[in-house]
Chains A and B, each alone.
Chain A
Amino acid sequence: MSALLVFLARNLLHALGFLVISFLGMAGLFLTLSADFIAIAQVLIYAGSISVLMVFAVMLTPLASRNNGSTLYVIPAMLAAGGLASLIGFVAIDTEWDERKGEALAQSDFTTTVAAIGDLLLGRYILAFEVASVLLLFALLGAIVLVQERRRAGEGA
């Protein structure tokens, strides 16, 4: 519902507010799937940080609160969104989910996922983890270099 409102809202900041609500709803979905870590990370990263980032992006956009109803990109955007949705739907239907119902559900115990995620990140997927951290470090350095004040030619360090 709020995801629908995200693109029906004519005001960019209203859309942003609805986006945050849908992020929170997604966190709730994760929580019902007993994926506590991902649920909290969803709130922390998306609802907490990404939304603030978007707020700043919107503030830098001229005329953010005008009517954004009509753009030239309606048809390509619809096509891209439909393609993405069908791709995700296909994968979701095609995957063999580990389903448990009734008795089996009551018997299986859901432990915390934090320890398992930590083990996997620093064990099996260490390479991906390190690559991601190096990438983030470079992004940080790049941001610092970009906003640094240029020294004048004669002044040089």
Chain B
Amino acid sequence: MSGQPMRPATPMLRQIAEHRSLLQRFMDLPKEWKGFDLLLVLGFAAANAAIAYVVVDGRLDGRWYDVRDLGIAVSHLRGWMQDEGFHPAVPYLTTGLLGALGILSVVGGWLLIGSWVERRVLAKFQIRQGPNRTGPFGLLQPIADAVKLMQKEVVIPRVADRLLYYAPPVIIFIPALLGWGPVPWAERMSYLDLNVGVLYTIAISSLGVLGVFLAGWSSNNHYSLLGAMRTVAMMVSYEIPISIALLAVVLMTGSMQLSEIVAWQSNYNAWLIFLLPFGAFMFLFSSTAEINRTPNDIGEAESEIVAGFYTEYSGMKAGLFMGVELGNAILVGAMMSTFYLGGYTLFGLEAWVPGYLILATKIALVYFLFVWLRGTLPRFRLDQLMGYAWKFLMPLGVAQVLLVAVEASIFARWDTAALFPLAAFALLNLGLTVEMVRRWARALGYAPEVAQQQPVMAKAVGGLKAARKIRGA
């Protein structure tokens, strides 16, 4: 090696080389600023300690200002209204509107920052900057986008079917909002704690299909119709693996109520993803098909059929379709966290930290996984996707349901400590899943010894190791 350090090859590599850690940046600050920063950190720590003291003291339990569970505040409000002697409809309406406001603010808030998050994270995966011109870190980009979309002219094709052309953006938005109903955000913080919550979830997710189809058909455009037919076929097929995956969850926990599923996981300190690894994978994969995300976004494959079923929509109508995609992504994140990742609980931490913050963190992690998939995986072909649902996910899912039925009946007859059978089930299921997936893939004709195993291109040109090699470090 020569003494001269090699010039970084790309702007991104230059950034990596010049990147300084947080501590270094702190050390470079002038003295007054250092003291101010230290004061800020100390104050933050002191505030946290005070909160922790109040929480541990138990002074907060059941008070209306207990922010760990907003449901308590709402039930206090209802009690107060009943004491004051309002008409019985008033507390009913008020609490209903409050819950609706909560759901709307979650979805609306996500629409405001979601597209920014997705584009920035995706940009990091693709070694580029992402939106960074509007506001600090490009944070105002979604607002600029929204303003642009609203200003745009709404073009309606002359041959479009007027009635059915106007309806789909609205039809498709309804399930995206309704789906939030049964999600438990904390112990008493669930808008619609139905005892058929799982069924409700499946039913709501099946409603979106019609909106997609009507959008594609009424636009009177070949690309739209193609995209709609692909999406409908995909969504109808992938509803079945989702149902089978959730069936296993219901069998294991013995309840269709979402809050009880979470309570079961919290009670035994066992997330269902450990017990049902294949079910969790099946749910995640099928959900990506259901909400049209990579690797299953053939319904709107940009390189093949323009924008799929909403090709003919412009302005805010197209914006609604994109918004639904964002909203559905975190809805699936919430479902995934509730069913498989322990919902608002985190091994006892929910007694200290508000449950909805824990759930929001889990949702964000699942969403990150979605963006990761989008940045990493190519798109499946339609026939591959169908074959995967029917030939691979379905048989293995049914086998898993049988297995779980046996395990659940054993577990129901087990009267002593639950730890042993649950651990045994987790190990058994993991082993069986790996073995079954391997054998079934072989039976379907997957032959790794024939196909190339190592991704040559990725090794040569991509990744951090390659970046270091180019830099000569």
Q: Which residues from chain A sit less than 8 Å from chain B, CB to CB?
A: 11, 13-14, 17, 20, 36-37, 40-41, 43-44, 47-49, 51-52, 55, 59, 65, 112, 114
| Residues on the A chain within 8 Å of B199, using CB | 37, 40-41, 44
A-B contact pairs, 23 of them (CB 8 A): A13-B164, A14-B164, A17-B163, A17-B164, A17-B167, A20-B210, A36-B196, A41-B203, A43-B204, A43-B206, A44-B202, A47-B207, A48-B206, A48-B209, A51-B210, A52-B232, A52-B236, A55-B210, A55-B213, A55-B232, A59-B217, A65-B161, A114-B195
Known contacts A11-B161, A20-B210, A55-B213, A44 near B196 by CB under 8 Å: no
CB <8 Å contact, A43 and B203: yes
Interface positions of B from 219 to 238, Cβ below 8 Å from A: 232, 236
Interface residue from B202, B204, B213, B256 paired with A52 (Cβ < 8 Å): B213
| Residues on the A chain within 8 Å of B204, using CB | 43
A-B pairs, 8 with minimum CB distance: A48-B206, A44-B203, A43-B203, A112-B195, A40-B199, A40-B196, A40-B203, A36-B196
Interface residue from B196, B214, B236 paired with A114 (Cβ < 8 Å): B196
Q: Tell me the smallest distance from the CB of B24 to a CB of chain A, in Å.
A: 56
Known contacts A13-B214, A44-B203, A112 near B209 by CB under 8 Å: no
Supply 18 further A-B pairs (C-beta < 8 A) apart from A13-B161, A43-B204, A48-B209.
Answer: A11-B161, A14-B163, A14-B164, A17-B167, A20-B210, A36-B196, A40-B196, A40-B199, A40-B203, A43-B206, A43-B207, A44-B203, A47-B203, A47-B207, A48-B203, A48-B207, A52-B236, A55-B232
| Residues on the B chain within 8 Å of A47, using CB | 203, 206-207, 210
Q: Tell me the smallest distance from the CB of A135 to a CB of chain B, in Å.
A: 19
A44–B200 Cα gap in the complex (Å)? 8
Q: Tell me the smallest distance from the CB of B289 to a CB of chain A, in Å.
A: 15
A11–B217 Cα gap in the complex (Å)? 13
| Residues on the B chain within 8 Å of A43, using CB | 203-204, 206-207
| Residues on the B chain within 8 Å of A55, using CB | 210, 213, 232
A59–B213 Cα gap in the complex (Å)? 11
| Residues on the A chain within 8 Å of B210, using CB | 20, 47-48, 51-52, 55
CB <8 Å contact, A112 and B196: yes
Q: Which residues from chain B sit less than 8 Å from chain A, CB to CB?
A: 161, 163-164, 167, 194-196, 199-200, 202-204, 206-207, 209-210, 213-214, 217-218, 232, 236, 239, 256
Which residue, A36, A48, A65, A112, has most C-beta atoms of chain B within 10 A? A48
A13–B220 Cα gap in the complex (Å)? 13
Which residue, A11, A14, A36, A40, has most C-beta atoms of chain B within 10 A? A40
Q: Tell me the smallest distance from the CB of A109 to a CB of chain B, in Å.
A: 13
| Residues on the A chain within 8 Å of B214, using CB | 13, 17
Interface residue from B164, B195, B207, B232 paired with A36 (Cβ < 8 Å): B195
Which residue, A14, A43, A49, A59, has most C-beta atoms of chain B within 10 A? A43
A20–B256 Cα gap in the complex (Å)? 26
A17–B166 Cα gap in the complex (Å)? 13
| Residues on the A chain within 8 Å of B239, using CB | 48
A11–B202 Cα gap in the complex (Å)? 30
Q: Tell me the smallest distance from the CB of B351 to a CB of chain A, in Å.
A: 29
A51–B236 Cα gap in the complex (Å)? 12
Please give me the residue from chain B that is nearest to A36 by CB atom.
B196
Known contacts A52-B236, A112-B195, A114-B196, A13 near B217 by CB under 8 Å: yes
A112–B257 Cα gap in the complex (Å)? 11
A52–B231 Cα gap in the complex (Å)? 12
| Residues on the B chain within 8 Å of A20, using CB | 210
Q: Tell me the smallest distance from the CB of B309 to a CB of chain A, in Å.
A: 13
CB <8 Å contact, A36 and B163: no
A112–B236 Cα gap in the complex (Å)? 28
| Residues on the B chain within 8 Å of A40, using CB | 194, 196, 199-200, 203
Which residue, A36, A55, A65, has most C-beta atoms of chain B within 10 A? A55
| Residues on the A chain within 8 Å of B200, using CB | 40
| Residues on the B chain within 8 Å of A37, using CB | 196, 199
Q: Tell me the smallest distance from the CB of B275 to a CB of chain A, in Å.
A: 22
Q: Tell me the smallest distance from the CB of B465 to a CB of chain A, in Å.
A: 48
Q: Tell me the smallest distance from the CB of A65 to a CB of chain B, in Å.
A: 7
| Residues on the A chain within 8 Å of B213, using CB | 52, 55
Please give me the residue from chain B that is nearest to A115 by CB atom.
B195
Interface residue from B206, B217, B256 paired with A49 (Cβ < 8 Å): B206
| Residues on the B chain within 8 Å of A49, using CB | 206, 236
Q: Tell me the smallest distance from the CB of B164 to a CB of chain A, in Å.
A: 6
A129–B195 Cα gap in the complex (Å)? 23
Interface residue from A13, A17, A52 paired with B209 (Cβ < 8 Å): A52
A126–B343 Cα gap in the complex (Å)? 36
Q: Tell me the smallest distance from the CB of A6 to a CB of chain B, in Å.
A: 14
| Residues on the B chain within 8 Å of A14, using CB | 163-164
| Residues on the B chain within 8 Å of A65, using CB | 161
Please give me the residue from chain B that is nearest to A54 by CB atom.
B210
Interface residue from A11, A41, A114 paired with B256 (Cβ < 8 Å): A114
| Residues on the B chain within 8 Å of A44, using CB | 199, 202-203, 206
A55–B215 Cα gap in the complex (Å)? 13
Q: Tell me the smallest distance from the CB of B260 to a CB of chain A, in Å.
A: 12
